[in-house]
A and B are shown apart, each in its own frame.
Chain A
């Protein structure tokens, strides 16, 4: 194979597809990217079999062909080149990359060793790419990153009223985002998507208008123009989260979102572990934030806030609080509480479709 391409275009394609490559691949060949050149297009694919990311770019083709090159190596090389045209050619088991006065040669792996990836299945439905990306961004941080709890590592897609709902929880917090009017599932249908796939999807979406979903029996494919993310669906029953969303809250705190996030981050700076909570004291005349650690020190800050309810001291994991407040968006957020042991509800005044439920940290 042999082609010519602008460095920026090639680098971006390689970077995107590399996100599909696992650092510890199950097969040696999966540490590589599949480069498939024909019909004037170069398709770059990275996969760990569970997740596949594939992008295509137009290139000046001299000779069609297909090969596999180490993902990290080839991506690092192309990114390090001077801007401008890059010549890429493969002969036998060596790829050569030249640009300006730089020249590299890289060992390749025979493309025949690359596993056959399943073709996308299921019929295709279109959604607004920007709206879907915004919704996905709001929930993914609440999904668990714990390998040992695969179901909680997923984002549940289901039908809610006349629309789509995305839900994620790691059992300590829960993020729910509704997309009214987006009808892509049957009423009783639900799909559990690995959060990792959505994190990658969100990164892949730039200014595209349309995102197409193909929901297969075992797989799910997102198509964005020429780019494609295919992921295995998570099997299993997502927890029944509906009862966790509190309906009635005697206490209601309203605070400006930006200053609140900044204050939590500042006060959190004395925390050096993942277990030290931030304490919120909610009073009629405002909000107090404090952190005390035995080994490092303490932080304290006061914020203006509106508060209806009885004075309450409640503690949270500061990062969880930041995740929720950042995702909520809008000028103001409201934190609704029952007491210091019951789940709290965080919502934004401007986006009622998003809800974030957070369990407190208990003091002994």
Chain B
């Protein structure tokens, strides 16, 4: 409806791919082997290579090759046993790092994921900045290298990360660009020289048909009428490749939406006993949840309230409004509505607010009769301003007035006293 709509639809997608992941993880324990031709895989007679270091790749060694063949190519090859549980553990830390940029993380495998950082651009900078920062952080926290492709579509981002990778050149260190950004204007220049086999969906059978027709590069595909591709490859594959060759890929980054949720809860030193106190705390929690949704540009479909009473009985109440929620105001409103049926007089020990079913915010929104004459019914305008101010001046620079006390603005943030309540929370219920 406004000029910003096109902007909203334009995604910034990162494809992050770890460099020689299994080997690199093993080398964390064997620094003496860094720079050597090392593989992870079966060392036995029928062993197969699972991953190869770049020095090993220089000899032509690659994954899925038999270890015996690899040893022929590279007699000094060091073969290490794999430790899958360790890769899983490292992968979890990796995905958690991604998740701090944006909740829209779509893991492809242990060492590879798509990140949609469109919503984080305002807070964290453009795609290139986010990519460099992410690489630095992965390096310093995990001691591992990765390559990052940045583009507005998934498949170009993935191709870009492959181009950014270290190359197994003969002699000399194998250095890659680390980050490659393909701007929309450059997508066709980037794609067209690539071999058709680089595209998703081009397996050996498709490849031989395309090559049989003299279509070797992506540019050849782009110049071929879609009807010809369809008659060559069938309706679905023909149209698919035609679109890819023109840089078109509508697939969005899909986080595990069902399982994903963002929430905060707080245990109070002294039980809350009044509705006012409870409402104030719900606002505080809603603010914390909204602050975590903001960088990902996300909204939650379902709002869940959790209440634990002094006697440890716990209940949850959920509400799924017709439109996903992103703003502090609407979140707090729903949480308070859900809390209406709860009588706090017996003492509330813990409150929690969470949202699940995460989707990109700012989509179409069913209006309700309550907002026939409200100027900013979504609270979106307010929320954007709040996010921008916090980005610049810090989280405590602005917040709901109801959370102001003589000690300043009392906000809740992830990691605040996760082991239990600090004493100061006690003042709330009294």
Question: Do A and B interact?
Answer: yes
Q: Mark A139-160, 1 if CB is under 8 A from B, else 0.
A: 0000000101100000000000
Contact call A148/B317, Cβ cutoff below 8 A: yes
Contact call A360/B367, Cβ cutoff below 8 A: yes
Contact call B363/A171, Cβ cutoff below 8 A: no
For residue A341, CB closer than 8 A to chain B, the reply is yes
- Of B319, B324, B377, the residue contacting A146 (CB under 8 A) is B319
For residue B315, CB closer than 8 A to chain A, the reply is no
For residue B401, CB closer than 8 A to chain A, the reply is no
Q: Mark A318-332, 1 if CB is under 8 A from B, else 0.
A: 000000000000000
For residue A294, CB closer than 8 A to chain B, the reply is yes
Contact call A275/B324, Cβ cutoff below 8 A: yes
Closest residue to B301 on the A side, CB-wise? Answer: A275
In the complex where A294-B252, A364-B1 touch, is A148 in contact with B338 (Cβ < 8 A)?
A: yes
In the complex where A275-B323, A294-B250 touch, is A364 in contact with B372 (Cβ < 8 A)?
A: no
Q: Residue among B4, B359, B362, B363 with the most chain A CB within 10 A?
A: B363
Report how far A148 CA is from B1 CA in the complex, Å: 34
How many cross-chain pairs have Cβ atoms below 8 Å apart between A and B?
A: 74
Report how far A182 CA is from B34 CA in the complex, Å: 90
Considering only residues 311-348 of chain B, those with a C-beta below 8 Å from chain A are 317-319, 322-324, 337-338, 341
For residue A211, CB closer than 8 A to chain B, the reply is no
Total chain A interface residues with beta-carbon distance under 8 A: 27
- Of B1, B318, B368, the residue contacting A359 (CB under 8 A) is B368
Contact call B337/A361, Cβ cutoff below 8 A: no
For residue A244, CB closer than 8 A to chain B, the reply is yes
Contact call B364/A244, Cβ cutoff below 8 A: no
For residue A272, CB closer than 8 A to chain B, the reply is no
Q: Residue among A149, A244, A343, A364 with the most chain B CB within 10 A?
A: A364
Q: Mark B342-378, 1 if CB is under 8 A from A, else 0.
A: 0000000000000000010011111111101000011
Contact call A277/B252, Cβ cutoff below 8 A: no
- Chain B residues lying within 8 Å of A276, measured Cβ to Cβ, are 364
- In the assembled complex, how far is the CB of residue A172 from the closest CB belonging to chain B, in whole angstroms? 5
Q: Mark B378-412, 1 if CB is under 8 A from A, else 0.
A: 10100000000000000000000000000000000
Considering only residues 270-301 of chain A, those with a C-beta below 8 Å from chain B are 274-277, 294-295
For residue B256, CB closer than 8 A to chain A, the reply is no
- Chain A residues lying within 8 Å of B319, measured Cβ to Cβ, are 146, 148
- Of B318, B364, B369, the residue contacting A363 (CB under 8 A) is B364
- Chain A residues lying within 8 Å of B363, measured Cβ to Cβ, are 275, 364
Closest residue to A317 on the B side, CB-wise? Answer: B366
For residue B236, CB closer than 8 A to chain A, the reply is no
- In the assembled complex, how far is the CB of residue B226 from the closest CB belonging to chain A, in whole angstroms? 17
Contact call B364/A172, Cβ cutoff below 8 A: no
- Of B8, B338, B372, the residue contacting A244 (CB under 8 A) is B372
For residue B231, CB closer than 8 A to chain A, the reply is no
Report how far A146 CA is from B2 CA in the complex, Å: 33
Considering only residues 216-261 of chain A, those with a C-beta below 8 Å from chain B are 239, 241, 244
For residue A362, CB closer than 8 A to chain B, the reply is yes
In the complex where A275-B322, A294-B250, A317-B322 touch, is A362 in contact with B369 (Cβ < 8 A)?
A: no
Contact call A364/B362, Cβ cutoff below 8 A: yes
- Of A149, A174, A341, the residue contacting B369 (CB under 8 A) is A174
A-B contact pairs, 15 of them (CB 8 A): A146-B319, A171-B370, A172-B366, A275-B323, A275-B366, A276-B364, A294-B252, A315-B364, A317-B322, A343-B369, A361-B364, A362-B364, A364-B5, A364-B362, A364-B364
Residues of B within 8 A of A (CB): 1-2, 4-5, 8, 250, 252, 301, 317-319, 322-324, 337-338, 341, 359, 362-370, 372, 377-378, 380
Residues of A within 8 A of B (CB): 146, 148-149, 169, 171-172, 174, 239, 241, 244, 274-277, 294-295, 315, 317, 341-343, 359-364
